[in-house]
A and B are shown apart, each in its own frame.
Chain A
Amino acid sequence: MSEAETLRATRSPQPRSSASEPKRRGLGRRGEEIAKILFVVPAAFAIVVLFGYPVVKNLLMSFQEYTLRTFITGEAPWVGLQNYLTVIKDDLFAKELANTALFTIGSIVGQFVIGMLLALFFHKHFPLNGILRALFLLPWLIPLIVGSAAWRAILEQDSGILNVTLERLGVITEPVPWLTSPDVALIAVILVNIWLGIPFNLTLLYSGLQAIPDELYEAGSLDGATGWKAFWHITWPNLRAVVNVVLMLGVIYTLKVIDLILGLTQGGPANATQTIAIQSYQRSFVEFKFGEGAALSNILIVISLVFAIVYVRANRRQVDE
C-alpha cells in the first residue's frame, strides 16, 4: 500500500476544504482501483492489438499457405514447416544472410567509430560547440526516404556529383556504378546507412561522456593517465553501459532496415543488396506469399532476440562485477 493510500484509509472521510464534493471521496478503494486500471486500459489494448496480435498472427501465418488466394477463398491450409524450408532452401538465402550480416556489421562499425570520434571531439570546449553539434543531427530528422533520394542523386553513375568530382580530381578514370554494379552496391548502401546512423551514435555517446565526472580525469592525470591512456583506463570503462545500449539498439535497428535499401537499390542489382528484411517484404507484398514473408520476418525476430539476450546478460555481468 502506498503512503498516500495509507493516509487516505486512516484519515476521516470528511473532505477538509470543499464540502461540495463529498461524492468523489465516497468512490471507495474499489472504485479507486478501477479508476487506476482505466489509466492503462487504452495503452494495454493498443499494445495487444498492435504487437501481440501481429506477433501471434505472424507466427500462425508462417505455418500456413497464406497467399493472395487466401483473401478470396478465406482458406489458408496448414503446411507445417514448409514455409521455413522454402525460404531457407532458396538459393538466395545464404546471400541474404551474408548481406544482412555485412550490412549490419559494416554499418555498426562505421557509425560507432565515427560517432565516437565526433563525440570525443565535441566533448572538448570550443566556440559554437552546441550549435554545430545540433546541426549534426539534421540527417536524423529528415525522412529516411528523403535521405535515400539525396544519395541517389549524388551516387548517380554518369552525372552524380560524386563521380563527377572524383573524375575531375583524377581519382577515377571511369565513372563508378555505385548503385548499379553488384560489386559495389552493398558498399554504397552501407556507406549511406553509416551517414544516417552517425547522429544517433554521436548523441548517445556524447551524453555518456558528459556523465563521466571530471574528478576522475583529474585524479587520473596525477597518475599519469592522459591522452590515450586516459581514454582506455577512464573513459572506456565508464562509457561501457552507454556503449552497450548504443550497439544493441544499433544492431536491432539495422537488422530491420527496409526503407533505405528499397529507396536506393530495391534489393538489386542482381540481389547484391538483398537482405532478410527486404526479402521478407518482397515475399509478402510483391509476390503475395504472406506465409513465406512471415517465416522470414520471424527469423529476423529470433536474430534480434539473440542480440537482446546477449545485451541483457552482458549488463547483468557488469552489475555483478
Chain B
Amino acid sequence: MTLTHQQRLVVRRTGRGLRTAVAIVLLAAMLFPVYWMVNTSFQPSGNTLSATFFPAHPSLQGYSAAIHDQGQNLITSLIIAIGTVALTLLVATPCAYALAQFRFRWISWALLAILISQMIPGIVIANALYTLYENIGLLNSIPGLIIANSASTIPFGILIMRSFMLGVPPSIVEAARVDGAGLVRAFLSIVVPISRNSLITAGLFAFLFAWGDFLYALTLTTKGNIVPVTLGIYTYLGAHISNWSAVMATAIMASIPAIILLVIAQKFIAAGATGGAVK
C-alpha cells in the first residue's frame, strides 16, 4: 500500500517531533551536572545527604555564605579577566591585521610559531614564570596573572582575528590612505570597526579563558592575598566539605558571567566564527 502525499507528510512530521524529543532527553542527561549544581545550591541543609531532586524549600543560605567567603574573589577574577581582554586585544589586533594584509616574507613561519605555541602545556609556562616572577616581584599580583593568562589568549586571538581580516578588501584601506590617512589611522578607523565581530569573539574567548583559569592562579600565587574565584572553589573543595550548598552557589556565580556574555555576544560570535571557519 502506498501512502498518500498527506500521510507521508504526517509521518515525516512525527519523525521530526520524535527527534526533538530524543534531543531533549540527551540534553537533559548532558546538563544534569549543571542542574544538580543549581539544585544543590538552593538546598537548605549544607550537605547533599538529604538533597532532593527538587529544592522544595529553596534557601539562599548557600548564596549568602558564598558571597561572604568568595565575593571578593569574584571581583578579583573580574579584574583579571577584563585586564586579560584589554591586553590581548591591544597586542593581538594589530598583529592579526599585519599577518593578514601585509606581505612579510616570514608570515608562514610566524603562523607556524603561533600554532606550536598552542601546544606548550600551561605547566611549562607556569614553571618558568614562577621563577621569573619571583625575581621581578610579579608573584602574588594581578598584573602577573593577567600577563600569564595572555600567554594563551594572545596567540589564539591572533589566529581568530587574522582569519577574519583576510577578508578585508585592501581597496578600502587604500582609499583611506589616498585620502591622507596614515597606516595607523586607517587601521583604527577602518579595519577595527569592520572587524568588530572578530574582536568581540577574540575578546570573549580571552575573558572566558582568564575567568576560568585555575593553573596560573594556583601556581603564581602563594600568599592568599590574590585569590581568583576558581582558586576559591578549589580551596573550598580541599577542605573537608561540610557545606555543599555554599560550594555550589559559588560554582553557579562563577558560571554566570560566561552565560551572560554568551547570550549577549551570540550573534557576534556566530558572525565572527563563521567568518573564521570559511577562510
Binding site for B on A (CB under 8 A): 1-4, 7-8, 15-18, 20-21, 24-25, 27, 32, 35-36, 38-40, 42-44, 46-47, 50-51, 53-55, 57-58, 61, 66, 70-71, 118, 121-122, 124-129, 132, 134-136, 138-139, 141-154, 156, 158-161, 195, 198, 207, 252, 255-256, 258-259, 262-263, 277, 280-281, 284-285, 290, 293-294, 297-298, 300-301, 304-305, 308
Q: Mark B60-101, 1 if CB is under 8 A from A, else 0.
A: 000000000000000000000000000000111011011100
Q: A141-B262, A301-B124 are in contact. Are A50 and B154 (CB under 8 A)?
A: yes
Instruction: Known A50-B150, A258-B215, A259-B215; judge A127-B17 contact (CB<8 A).
Output: yes
CB <8 Å contact, B23 and A122:
yes
Residues of A within 8 A of B147 (CB): 50
Do most interface residues of chain A lie in helix, strand or loop, or is the interface mixed?
helix
Residue of A nearest to B99 (CB): A40
- B179's partner among A18, A66, A129, A141 (CB-CB below 8 A) is A18
The answer to whether B49 touches A159 (Cβ under 8 A) is yes
Q: How far is the CB of B79 from chain A (nearest CB, A)?
A: 16
A153 to chain B: which residues have CB within 8 Å? 36-37, 40, 48, 244, 247-248
Selected from A47, A128, A161, the residue in CB contact (under 8 A) with B114 is A47
Number of A-B contacts (CB under 8 A): 275
New contact pairs (4) apart from A35-B184, A51-B120, A54-B127, CB-CB < 8 Å: A17-B179, A17-B180, A258-B122, A293-B127
Partner of A125, one of B16, B132, B211: B16
B125 within 8 A of A: yes
Would you call A55 and B27 a contact (CB within 8 A)?
A: no
Inter-chain contact A149/B233, CB cutoff 8 Å: yes
Residue ID in chain A nearest B222 by CB atoms: A285
Partner of A43, one of B33, B92, B118: B92
| 18 examples of A-B residue contacts, CB within 8 angstroms | A15-B179, A16-B178, A17-B180, A39-B98, A40-B98, A40-B99, A43-B91, A50-B147, A51-B117, A54-B125, A61-B131, A126-B20, A136-B30, A141-B258, A142-B255, A146-B233, A281-B126, A308-B116
Chain B CB within 10 Å — which of A42, A71, A298, A305 has the most?
A: A42
- A243: shortest Cβ distance to chain B, in Å? 16
CB neighbours of B259 from chain A (8 A): 138, 141
Contacts of A132 in B (CB 8 A): 20, 23-24, 27
Residues of chain A within 8 A of B215, CB atoms compared: 258-259, 281
Measured in the bound complex, the distance between the Cα atoms of B217 and A262 in whole Å is 13
Take A136-B27, A263-B237 as given contacts and tell me if A285 and B184 are in contact as well, using a CB distance cutoff of 8 Å. no
B277 within 8 A of A: yes
- Interface size class on chain B is 35 or more
| A50-B151 contact, Cβ under 8 Å, with A61-B128, A126-B20, A153-B248 | yes
Q: Does B218 contact A (CB under 8 A)?
A: yes
| In the bound complex, CA of A159 to CA of B116 (Å) | 45
Bound form: Cα–Cα A32–B173 in Å: 14
A40 to B121, Cβ gap below 8 A?
no
B155 near A304: Cβ-Cβ < 8 Å: no
Q: Which residues of A contact B145 (CB under 8 A)?
A: none
Q: Are B27 and A4 in contact (CB under 8 A)?
A: no
Q: In the complex the two chains form, is B95's CB within 8 Å of A128's CB?
A: no
Binding site for A on B (CB under 8 A): 16-17, 19-20, 22-24, 26-27, 30-31, 33-34, 36-37, 40, 47-49, 51, 90-92, 94-95, 97-99, 102-104, 110, 113-114, 116-132, 134, 147-148, 150-151, 154-155, 158, 170, 174, 177-184, 187, 208, 211-212, 214-215, 218-219, 230, 233-234, 236-237, 241, 244, 247-248, 251, 254-255, 258-259, 262, 266, 277
Across the interface, do A284 and B130 meet the contact criterion of CB distance under 8 Å? Answer: yes
Alpha-carbon distance between A280 and B208 when the two chains are bound, in angstroms: 25
Assess A294 versus B127: contact at CB under 8 Å? Given A4-B174, A263-B234.
Answer: yes
CB distance A297 to B180 under 8 Å? no
Complex Cα spacing A186 to B182, Å? 59
Complex A-B, nearest 9 residue pairs according to Cβ-Cβ distance, in ascending order: A143-B212, A43-B95, A54-B128, A256-B121, A50-B151, A21-B180, A126-B19, A39-B98, A57-B128
B16 near A297 (CB under 8 angstroms)? no
Q: Smallest Cβ distance from B102 to chain A, in angstroms?
A: 5
Q: What is the CA–CA distance of A24 and B122 in the complex, to the nearest angstrom?
A: 44
Decide: B95 and A40 in contact? CB cutoff 8 A. Answer: yes
Of the listed residues A16, A66, A138, A290, the one surrounded by the most CB atoms of chain B closer than 10 A to its CB is A138
Q: Which of A17, A21, A128, A142 has the most CB of B within 10 A?
A: A142
A99 to chain B, nearest CB (A): 16
Contacts A35-B183, A301-B124 given: A141-B255 contact, CB under 8 Å?
Answer: yes
Contacts of A258 in B (CB 8 A): 122-123, 215
Contact A57 B132 (CB under 8 A): yes
**B33 cross-chain contacts in A, Cβ below 8 A:** 139, 147, 150-151, 154, 195
When distances are taken between beta carbons in the complex, the residues of chain B under 8 Å from A3 are 170
Q: Check A259–B214 contact: CB distance below 8 A.
A: yes
Give CA–CA (A153, B123) in the complex, Å: 27
Selected from B26, B95, B120, B177, the residue in CB contact (under 8 A) with A118 is: B26
The smallest C-beta distance from B204 to any residue of chain A, in angstroms, reads: 10
Nearest CB of chain B from residue A119's CB, rounded to whole Å? 12
